[in-house]
Homo-oligomer: A and B are copies of this chain.
Amino acid sequence: MYANLSLGALGLSADFPTAVELAARHGFAGVDPDVGYLAGLGDRAAIAEAAAAVAERGLRLGVAGLPVDLTAPAGEFTAQLAGLPDTLAVLSAAGVTSVGTWVRPMHDDLTYRRNWVLHVSRISLVAGVLADAGVRLGLEYVGPKTFWSTERFPFVHSLAEVRELIADTGAGNVGVILDSFHWFTAAETTADVAALADADIVSVDLNDAPEDRALDQQLDLDRRLPGTTGVIDLAGFVAGVRAAGYTGPVKVEPFMASLAEQPVDDVLADVSRRLHAAID
């Protein structure tokens, strides 16, 4: 696994060349691609050149966002799906081989099984289109009870369930996005993660949790930088990821608005140090 810089996941923003510069300066080994920027370069050759420049800085390109909303109304989903090949052409030109999205862990109208059919339907179709472009799809489950228990029908909110969901799609190019915060709130273990193979994992997020809340009270959008509080057993989580043989990107996504108020180099130096401390 390697430390990856995702400015967006830190609540920061910069143009892509700046992001690359920052990633290199602070010792990250990868940076998330900026599809809008790459697409704006115009043609395939220009995109490939930009990607080559990233590689020359010693950086890999991480995971792009899936530009499709899995639970959108059918017409909207169909329109987004129809636009997917254009995005894939950009990703392909840049050599990006994975995209990710998350699974909404509840629904007010669809029972678990109806929602399952919706997700299997949508994911298998998206995965089919991605497979034609040689791209993998990562699915992130969302663990906090304060989230999955807020509508009438809870849905996938654990590693076990997202694995069942992926298996039921029958797709060979879909894997999990792990996040220590969801792993913690879902009450999962090192062994749960160690049971995965590298091919089962598309991306990994490392986060800690605030100390002043019980596990069932943790909020999805209020986390901490890894190693800050020690509430989450990051060593146990990373041990599982390591046992799985994971070789992909690891990033931080703390949902801390305060980061945007600090000097960006201070933030990235701290994040990089914490990431390397956790995974090296």
Is B121 a contact partner of A125 (Cβ separation < 8 A)?
yes
The answer to the question of A74 belonging to the interface, with a C-beta cut-off of 8 Å to chain B, is yes
Which A residues, 197 to 227, have Cβ-Cβ distances below 8 Å to chain B? none
Residues of the B chain whose Cβ atoms lie less than 8 Å from the Cβ of A112: 112, 161
The answer to the question of A89 belonging to the interface, with a C-beta cut-off of 8 Å to chain B, is no
The answer to the question of A101 belonging to the interface, with a C-beta cut-off of 8 Å to chain B, is no
Inter-chain CA distance A168–B121, complex, in Å, is: 11
Is B78 a contact partner of A84 (Cβ separation < 8 A)?
yes
Residues of the B chain whose Cβ atoms lie less than 8 Å from the Cβ of A131: 74
The answer to the question of A117 belonging to the interface, with a C-beta cut-off of 8 Å to chain B, is yes
Is B169 a contact partner of A158 (Cβ separation < 8 A)?
no
Residues of the B chain whose Cβ atoms lie less than 8 Å from the Cβ of A120: 117, 120-121
Give the nearest-CB partner of A112 in chain B: B112
Given contacts A85-B75, A125-B77, A149-B149, contact A160 B111 (CB under 8 A): yes
State how many residues of chain A have any CB contact under 8 Å with chain B.
43
Residues of the B chain whose Cβ atoms lie less than 8 Å from the Cβ of A129: 74-75, 78
Chain A residues within CB distance 8 Å of chain B: 73-75, 77-79, 81-82, 84-85, 111-114, 116-118, 120-122, 124-125, 127-129, 131-132, 145, 148-149, 152-154, 158, 160-161, 164, 167-170, 186-187
Given contacts A74-B125, A125-B125, contact A82 B84 (CB under 8 A): no
Residues of the B chain whose Cβ atoms lie less than 8 Å from the Cβ of A116: 113
Is A186 a contact partner of B82 (Cβ separation < 8 A)?
no
Given contacts A158-B111, A158-B152, contact A132 B75 (CB under 8 A): yes
Give the nearest-CB partner of A109 in chain B: B160
Residues of the B chain whose Cβ atoms lie less than 8 Å from the Cβ of A167: 167
**In the complex, which of the residues B117, B169, B186, B187 contacts A169, with contact meaning CB atoms closer than 8 Å?**
B117
Residues of the B chain whose Cβ atoms lie less than 8 Å from the Cβ of A170: 114, 117
Residues of the B chain whose Cβ atoms lie less than 8 Å from the Cβ of A125: 74, 77-78, 121-122, 125
Give the nearest-CB partner of A152 in chain B: B187
Residues of the B chain whose Cβ atoms lie less than 8 Å from the Cβ of A153: 158, 161
Residues of the B chain whose Cβ atoms lie less than 8 Å from the Cβ of A79: 82
Inter-chain CA distance A167–B170, complex, in Å, is: 13
Give the nearest-CB partner of A123 in chain B: B121
Inter-chain CA distance A121–B128, complex, in Å, is: 12
Give the nearest-CB partner of A82 in chain B: B82
